[in-house]
Amino acid sequence: MSSYFKYSGPVRRLIYTTNPIEGLHRQIRRFTKTKGSFTSTNALYKQVYCAIKRIEQKWAMALPNWALTISQLDIFFPCRLKIELN
């Protein structure tokens, strides 16, 4: 865990949020946990579909300070990023 703190704040935030499966599960669970039970399997599928649509909108937003974060990643991991930094 201490190696995690050698990175700057923006890089730590990126590392902390890079498990998309856990994040997706947590957000779907937040939408479905308020329901006591579903009338049918189809009702559950519809609820999960609507949750995923809302989650996709949120994931499409740009990350704050992305230029700073990508620059710091290039410093910490030289020769691993295949992009041009202008």
Return the pLDDT at 1. Answer: 59
Within-domain flag for 25: yes
Task: Work out the percent of the chain whose per-residue pLDDT is above 90.
Answer: 10
Quickly state the pLDDT bin for 49 (edges 50, 70, 90): very high
Within-domain flag for 59: yes
Return the pLDDT at 42. Answer: 94
Cβ of 31: how many Cβ atoms within 10 Å?
Answer: 15
3-class secondary-structure state, position 55: helix
Torsion of CA 85, 18, 62, 52, to 10 degrees: 150
Residue 17 pLDDT > 70: no
Residue 54 pLDDT > 80: yes
Within-domain flag for 82: no
Range of the domain at 30: 8-76
- Domain count for the chain: 1
75, 11 Cβ separation under 8 angstroms: no
Within-domain flag for 17: yes
Predicted structure pTM score = 0.51
